[in-house]
Structure 1
């Protein structure tokens, strides 16, 4: 597949001409997938608080957030350019900028490269070289590993492709300490095992979309009951690993208490969805989006606890 097609670019130029400046700005912002960036930053900043055992320097936080935002945005832009053919056919993605021809693929590519370069410079100069290298590695893996290699070829696409989304925990830690340790690796693993239940729940909701464009997400090739079973397995491993942070990092009681409560709630929801999936293939009864939204809340509150633990356990 080529990144830029002449016919698509021509159509883009025509439609861009009809779009208002506000439409174009909104389109460029949309290419960066702001909601994904929010989630990634949510696993970066709390780790910085934990690494600092308190409140990290404001300037360092700002530089890390800005650099991380540009890096994640760059990867998302490249993903949108490469996947624009299937995005045009899927209900969930057909309103993105490239399928609507508000931004041309060529312009999007330039935008992606600019964001990537800015992010690397910001992290290397105002944070540290290790954080910059980790950011580039995450970006490259998401684009080349997940988007171009795994997504359209294997049911394990999101399992291994999800590694890119785990790097913010490492970047947040190295931004403060300048080195890696077992603490951020544990949090890296939490996000790794959280990603399949989170993504498979969404993919189950939109499995017809993925099937229509031949993307072999697990819910496309396996029945809902098998998807539910695997979600439960990953969820148990995720919760178990989340509790490892207590002995590994020597946290106070705030974190383990929150982790136990959140983990119990998440496991109940995962088992309930699996139970519904064992009796029907009807998505309206399986209600996979309940687990999807629960997963967002779980990760958000867990990392809030990571940030608050050193502040409340003094």
Structure 2
């Protein structure tokens, strides 16, 4: 039972769940009527397996860093519960199985984009960007922003401009989301010489960037309404959720003790769930 739990934790289930929800919303927004349930199910399964593979690869590569950070020291590989070799086999099986499911039961375009996202996060971000630049989150955020596009292409087998708007929302959301956590865990990153923005440019500068990117996020979140993809319900939801996010960001900027860093991070998670829920409600119920 503990073995299953360890492999389950290798998949970063909370992160994968967030990705799946945005992918699901993307698939449901791709059609005016409810798409075939079987197609959605196979798409979500394939995306989940590939995302879990990427999460496992990330932990294999980062195992030495994870062992020295308070937030990650209890992960299965640093604890010795899963060996790097077994984790690698597990990640390979998940990735191959996910890709096969997408090719056979969904479409090749979705499989290619999903694998590109896997490579972007597991290798380009984890191996290079994370240690190369304080803009790691900004540049590498594109891989994590892909799920709604993957869900959309699963239904339409094409890249639609509206799907790219959903990607853009997550892309703009990623920096304030992760930088709030980076402020909260600054000492961990500094200890391992990982060039997160609070480490390289200081907490004050990072707080200012969080405000800036939150404003960018609010503006980007209005695009679905502007292009008539969504209606008034979504517009009001986006403005309210964005205003609350901005309040959190300003409160964090004024906080000398950084006590609001983690609450800002937590709210950012609620924000992304709620704004995608608003898109879905507006599309089907309003």
* In 1, Cα distance between equivalents of 2:59 and 2:249: 30
**Are 1:283 and 2:248 counterparts?**
no
Residue matched to 1:292: 265
Residue matched to 2:30: 51
Return the offset for 1:55.
Answer: 2.2
* In 2, Cα distance between equivalents of 1:211 and 1:232: 23
TM-score for both structures, normalised by structure 2: 0.97
CA distances 1:123-178 after superposition (whole Å, capped 9, x unpaired): 11111111111000000111221000111121011111111111101101111111
**Are 1:301 and 2:274 counterparts?**
yes
* In 2, Cα distance between equivalents of 1:250 and 1:207: 39
Indicate the larger mover: 151-160 or 252-261.
252-261
Mapping 1:14-93, distance limit 5 Å: 22-93=1-72
User: Aligned pairs, how many?
Assistant: 286
Residue matched to 1:267: 246
Residue matched to 2:122: 143
Return the offset for 1:60.
Answer: 1.3
* In 2, Cα distance between equivalents of 1:58 and 1:249: 26
Residue matched to 2:194: 215
Aligned residues of 2:44 and 2:151 also touching (Cα < 8 A): no
**Are 1:200 and 2:182 counterparts?**
no
TM-score for both structures, normalised by structure 1: 0.89
**Are 1:108 and 2:87 counterparts?**
yes
Return the offset for 1:56.
Answer: 2.0
Aligned residues of 1:200 and 1:227 also touching (Cα < 8 A): yes
* In 2, Cα distance between equivalents of 1:252 and 1:223: 40
* Structure of larger gyration radius: 1
Return the offset for 1:268.
Answer: 1.3
Return the offset for 1:247.
Answer: 2.5
**Are 1:235 and 2:214 counterparts?**
yes
* In 2, Cα distance between equivalents of 1:241 and 1:234: 10
Alignment equivalent of 1:96, drawn from 66, 71, 75? 75
Cα RMSD (Å):
1.1
Mind listing any 5+ residue stretches in structure 2 that lack a counterpart?
Answer: none
SS of match in other structure, 1:113: helix
After TM superposition, which residue ranges in structure 1, 4 or more long, deviate above 4 angstroms? none
Aligned residues of 1:54 and 1:310 also touching (Cα < 8 A): no
* In 1, Cα distance between equivalents of 2:244 and 2:33: 28
Return the offset for 1:249.
Answer: 4.2
Aligned residues of 2:252 and 2:258 also touching (Cα < 8 A): no
Residue matched to 2:136: 157
* In 1, Cα distance between equivalents of 2:135 and 2:61: 19
